[in-house]
Structure formats: structure tokens, C-alpha cells
Amino acid sequence: MKYLLTSLIALLLACSSYPKKNNLERKIGVTSTISNPYFSDMAKDYVYKAKINFAAKSFGGIFIVKKLGEEHHRVVFTTEMGNKIFDFSFIKNEFKINFILEEMNKKILINLLKRDFHVLTNEYPKILNHYEIPGDTIFLETQIENKTYFYLTADQQLHQILETRGGKEKSDYIFTQVENNHAREINIRHKNIKLTIDLKAI
């Protein structure tokens, strides 16, 4: 019985929410909106030098994002010589693989890349809750594809997105060197999977 009680307490602590674990203060009655502006300009080609590491594999090249219409983005990754590594289309809730190199054509990797790039190009996620650390960062709880994300803003600028599950951080999207709604550096880290994505604007 003592062991069972200890196990139940440990389980309850482990399942506590991310806001509770991080002492975030929920704001009731606050109307919150958020926009992710970093791939929102149809007149702009977003071009980055990229490195993607997955398990023991490493891929380097040029990463390009183009907004083609409302909720329509094209995401292309090529070698520096211009040979395609992958080419994806995101149109509203539809995901299309236009091309992918056989070496990257793994279901788990495709699903991760789909989720990551959907988060990066999703301009107006639906806000579920508003949390704050007094006098510091605002945490806006959202849901994308039935997964929970916290958008962290400071000085009205988005600088980080966290995917959480069971009160724990699962993946982390960090935007730095922001100029005129353009994040010149983006880093994506997955906590329990060996996948990292590093983008530096050219």
C-alpha cells in the first residue's frame, strides 16, 4: 500500500501541467492574439543556410521558404549545388511531398519535419490560454494538430515556441537576430529524438 501511494504521488507530479510546473500565472479575461510573422511576406524569399541532423545522418544545404498565398507555403531544401533534398507544400491543413531524397524518406523523419515546418509557417495559431511570468515573458498556450505549444513573447515579439506534453518540453523553436519581422537565425531542438535543425539567413 505504501509503495502504491508513493507511485500515485509520483505519477500525479509527473503529469502536472507545464504552467503549474513553471509557476506561470494564468490571466483570466485577457483577450490574447499572436502572429508568427517570420514567413508571412509573399513578396519575400526566405533563404537560409541550413543544417539538419537526424540520428547519425547530417544534411547541409540551402533552405528556402516562400509564401504563395493565404495559408500556402512552399518549403524547399537543396544542396549548395542546387540539387533537391526535399520539397514540401503546406496548403491550409494539407501537406504534400513534392520530392524527397530517398535517404530522408523515413516516415518518422517526414512526420517530424511536417510538424516543425507547419509550426514555423503557421501565422495565426488559436490561443487557448494566456499565462505570464510577472514583469517578464508572456506564454500563450496554443494547439496545432492536437499538440500543445506555448508561444513566448517579450516586448511584443515572438522569440520562442515550446511544444509540451505531460508537463514536459518536447521540442523547442528559438528565433534570434530578428530584424523587421525576419528571424535571421532559427534553431529547432527535439528533446527525446535526435533531430536538430539550424537555419542562418543568407
In a domain, 61, yes or no: yes
In a domain, 1, yes or no: no
In a domain, 168, yes or no: yes
In a domain, 151, yes or no: yes
Q: Looking at residue 166, what is its pLDDT?
A: 85
In a domain, 73, yes or no: yes
In a domain, 150, yes or no: yes
In a domain, 144, yes or no: yes
Q: Looking at residue 9, what is its pLDDT?
A: 39
Write out residues in the chain with pLDDT < 70, as ranges: 1-16, 135
Q: Looking at residue 173, what is its pLDDT?
A: 98
pTM value?
A: 0.88
The strand pair at 168-179 and 157-165 is best described as antiparallel
Cα 189 to Cα 9: distance, rounded to the nearest angstrom = 30
When divided into structural domains, the chain yields a total of 1
Instruction: Identify the CATH number of the domain in which residue 167 sits.
Output: 2.50.20
In a domain, 2, yes or no: no
Beta carbons within 8 Å of 135's beta carbon, 6+ residues apart = none
Cα 178 to Cα 187: distance, rounded to the nearest angstrom = 13
What is the residue range of 121's domain? 17-201
